[in-house]
Every structure is written in C-alpha cells, then in structure tokens.
Amino acid sequence: MRLVLVGPPGAGKGTQAQFLAAHYSIPHISTGDIFRANLKASTPLGLQAKGYMDAGQLVPDEVTNEMVKDRLTHDDTANGFLLDGFPRNTVQAEVLRAFLAEKRTPLDAVLELAIENEIIIKRLSSRLTCKNCGAPASPEATACPSCGGELYQREDDKEEVIAKRLAVYEEQTAPIVHFYRTEGLLITISADGEVSEITDRAITALSRVHG
Ligand code: AMP
C-alpha cells in the first residue's frame, strides 16, 4: 500500500498514521518528524529547517523533496509506505508523482482527513508531543502514551503560530486535494470523533481501493 495522508494541521494525521502504518505493515514517513529529529540532533538539515518551522512556514521545496526522495529509496519502503505531511504543495505533489512514476510504483490512494477549523484550534493549542518519539498526547497525559517519554508543547502549537499554519494549509496545501481528486486517488473521510472510530473509517474506505 502506497498511501499519502492529507489534512490540515491538527486533523490527527500523526495519530492515524501510526495506526494505519501498523495495520498495513508499512513505514510511517512524517516529514515533520524527520525535520524535528534533525533539529534535535542539530544537523545542518535541522538548522536549515528551524526558522521556517518555528514560524509555521514551509521548509523550501528543494530541501524537502530531496529528503523525501532519499527516504523513499530505503529498503523498508519496498512494500509501500505512508507519507504524512508530504506533499504539502502542488510542486511537491508533482515531484512525488514523477519520482514514483519513474520507479513504476504509483500511489494507491490519498486519504484526506477533513475537519473544521474550530476543532483544530482547540485540539492543537492543548496538544502535547513526546520529546522522545514525537507521538502526540492529550493535555491530561503526564507521559507519552506510546513510549513513556517526556511531553512538551511544540513551538508551532502555540496559538499565534497555529493561525499561520492554517493559513499556509489553505493557501498551499489545500490545492493538492484538487490535484489528487483529478488524478482519481482522493478518498475523503471525516476526522471528527474518537481516534479508533476514525481509524476504522479509514480502513473501511481504503479497503475499497486496496482489498
Ligand atoms: P508537521 O509535523 O507535519 O506539522 O510539520 C511541522 C513543520 O515542518 C511544518 O510547519 C513545516 O515547517 C515543516 N514541514 C513538514 N513537512 C513539510 C513539507 N512537506 N514541506 C515543507 N515543510 C514541511
């Protein structure tokens, strides 16, 4: 299964990606997580991305595209992958299409998590993230539900940055929904409700394209 997850920040992509990747036994590739890991390790890539991330802006395409293409050549992607947070604009979508076409491994589906802005703002401004594994956690959690690691509030989950991230989504990422609809790959589900409910909804919708 070669799958892309799209949806605004706070739609629950990271959470659903973890369950779906486990369900289909494919790697979960989150560009945000890769950038954050590089930032934590103070690599040149991390330092390059930091200013954009802290401001809620997209890291330049040249940097991001090369990073993803490199990741998609790793052996663990042989049976598929789940991309979370990439592509984020139509240039990235075109680069991905060309890259996969060359390898004759096109996408099977693009799953859109649809949700209202009001719910997003509430979710993001109260969400915590694991310092160790990057998993999201609810505000009541005292340790990471996945690995027990320490929790913190992401710099870009502060209220003033959320508004910027939503504007960037509308302007730059929302057009890829149209791109994938035209390609016949788009499946849209509601991302409102309990986590397990949304996972079931996703698996049911995906079973129509990938038995
Ligand atoms: P995320 O965890 O997906 O919300 O990503 C956090 C931040 O990482 C974004 O606000 C961007 O600054 C950067 N980022 C993640 N994915 C991409 C991408 N595909 N293109 C450009 N920047 C990205």
Per the annotation, the verdict on 40 as an active-site residue is no
The full DSSP string for 33-77 is HHHHHHHHTT-HHHHHHHHHHHTTPPPPHHHHHHHHHHHTTSGGG
9 in any annotated domain: yes
195 in any annotated domain: yes
pLDDT band at 211 (very low <50, low <70, confident <90, very high): low
Which atom of ligand 1 approaches the CA of 68 most closely? 19
- At residue 210, does pLDDT exceed 70? no
**Number of domains into which the chain is organized:** 1
**C-alpha to C-alpha distance for 154 and 131, rounded to whole angstroms:** 9
Mean pLDDT of the chain: 94
CA 211 to ligand 1 center in whole angstroms: 31
* Closest to 9 measured CA to CA, from 141, 139, 158, 147: 158
Pocket of ligand 1 contains residue 88 by CB under 6 Å: yes
**C-alpha to C-alpha distance for 104 and 178, rounded to whole angstroms:** 23
Pocket of ligand 1 contains residue 4 by CB under 6 Å: no
183 in any annotated domain: yes
Percent of the chain with pLDDT over 70: 99
20 in any annotated domain: yes
Q: What is the best residue among 15, 34, 52, 59 to mutate for testing ligand 1's pocket, by most ligand atoms within 8 Å of CB?
A: 59
Pocket of ligand 1 contains residue 10 by CB under 6 Å: no
Q: Give the CB-side neighbour count of residue 63, counting CA atoms within 13 A.
A: 16
Provide the whole-model pTM: 0.89
82 in any annotated domain: yes
Q: What order of strands is seen across the sheet that includes strand 186-190?
A: 28-30, 81-84, 2-6, 109-114, 186-190
Pocket of ligand 1 contains residue 31 by CB under 6 Å: yes
Query: How confident is the model over 7-51, as pLDDT tens digits?
Result: 999 899 999 999 999 999 999 999 999 999 999 999 999 999 999
Dihedral sign, Cα of residue 184, residue 61, residue 174, residue 31: positive
Per the annotation, the verdict on 13 as an active-site residue is yes
DSSP state of 146: T
- At residue 201, does pLDDT exceed 90? yes
Which atom of ligand 1 approaches the CA of 168 most closely? 10
> Taking a C-beta distance cutoff of 8 angstroms, is the pair 196, 113 a contact?
no
16 in any annotated domain: yes
Dihedral sign, Cα of residue 71, residue 3, residue 35, residue 61: positive
Q: What is the pLDDT of residue 56?
A: 87
Structure tokens at 163: 């508004």
Tell me the residue range of the domain where 23 lies.
2-27+74-116+173-206
Q: For 114-136, what is the mean pLDDT? A: 90
> Which domain CATH number covers 16?
3.40.50.300
Distance of CA 96 to the CA centre of its chain: 15
CA 55 to ligand 1 center in whole angstroms: 11
142 in any annotated domain: no
Q: What is the best residue among 29, 35, 160 to mutate for testing ligand 1's pocket, by most ligand atoms within 8 Å of CB?
A: 35
Q: Does 165 belong to an annotated binding site?
A: yes
153 in any annotated domain: no
